[in-house]
Amino acid sequence: MEQKTKINAENNKQEMRITREFELPVELLFKAYAEAELIEQWMGTKVLKLESKKHGSYQFETTDPKGNKHGFSGVIHEFIPNKKIIRTFEMENTPFGVQLEIHEFEKLTDDTSRINMHVIYESIEKRDQIMQLPFAQGLNMAHNRIQELLSKLKASQK
Amino acid sequence: MNLRRDVFQAIADPTRRAILLLVASQAMTAGAIASNFDTARPTVSKHLQILTECELLKQEQTGREIYYHLNPKKMKEVADFIEPFRQMWEARFNKLETIMKKYKHK
């Protein structure tokens, strides 16, 4: 299958670039970032607050399967419809710090568009930690599965 | 040469990730590993073969038994790599595209 999302993260740098082309007019791609109801759907998060304008701010909240709530928030520095959003992003109560996100929305044809994300982290170490998160979560899921298997096994031996 | 791809295929499977996690705590024989799973023994053997071929596991003979060890060097190489992160974004963007296509047709 074709890999549409491309990530460029050079070694020993505290930044990363993510690009992706969409079969969507740029207006629709931008809308997905600008409206709370749509963000809730594709990010799988609750939007507590979203002021889509310069000097605005936002707060998201997700609930994990165990019922723990995780907060994400930031402020919006630039908001140019169908072109650009610059904002900060922070996972609250984590050691990962604040990141600066520059989103550029690009029209390719009437029906296709591209997003260029440039993300700058507080340090090289923090960028590398964040990039490794999904793999750590994958291992955790496997761990839970082992726990399940082991408890099943124990139950069947009783 | 598609060794790199093979490594990521190896860790994409939940049973194989579970095996890696088991062996991470201590070296184990194939029998001991298999006893932790409901899966048929030959299936577990196949998983062990794949993990050994891509060097995530190493075999070591102790007496008559073969023990499987984790190869931390290879694990680090995989963990350092950005593929799982990229896949997370890919899934997120796929969802965005699907939702916005539906939105368009409303």
SS3 (DSSP) at B17: helix
Q: Select the more confidently predicted residue: A106 or A128.
A: A106
User: So where are chain B's domains?
Assistant: 3-80
User: So where are chain A's domains?
Assistant: 15-122, 133-158
pLDDT confidence of residue A47: 97
Q: Select the more confidently predicted residue: B8 or B96.
A: B96
Q: Which residues of B touch A (CB under 8 A)?
A: 11, 14, 17-18, 20-22, 36-38, 78-80, 82, 84-90, 92-97, 99-101, 103-104
Structure-token pair, residue A58: 């936002």
- Cross-chain residue pair A138–B84, CB shorter than 8 Å: yes
Mean pLDDT (whole number) for B87-99 = 92
- Quote the CA–CA distance of B56 and A121 in Å, as a whole number: 31
pLDDT confidence of residue A140: 52
Specify the pairing of strand A15-22 against strand A113-120. antiparallel
Q: Report whether pLDDT(B15) > 90.
A: no
Q: Report whether pLDDT(A158) > 50.
A: no
User: Listing from the earlier edge strand, what are the strands of the sheet with B65-70?
Assistant: B28-29, B65-70, B57-62
Structure-token pair, residue A15: 């930044």
Q: What is the ipTM of this complex?
A: 0.81
Region A15-122: CATH code? 3.30.530.20
Summary mean pLDDT of chain A = 86
- Cross-chain residue pair B20–A28, CB shorter than 8 Å: no
**Cβ neighbourhood burial of A147 (10 Å; 0-12, 13-18, 19+):** exposed
Q: Select the more confidently predicted residue: B78 or A20.
A: A20
pTM score over 0.80: no
Q: Among 1.10.540.10, 3.40.50.620, 1.10.10.10, 3.30.460.10, name the CATH number for the domain at B3-80.
A: 1.10.10.10
pLDDT confidence of residue A52: 97
Q: Select the more confidently predicted residue: A79 or A66.
A: A79
Count how many pairs of residues, chain A against chain B, have C-beta atoms within 8 Å.
100
> pLDDT digit string (tens) for B31-85?
999 998 888 899 999 999 999 998 889 999 999 999 999 887 777 666 556 777 8
Closest CB to B103 among A20, A28, A150: A28
Mean pLDDT (whole number) for A21-47 = 94
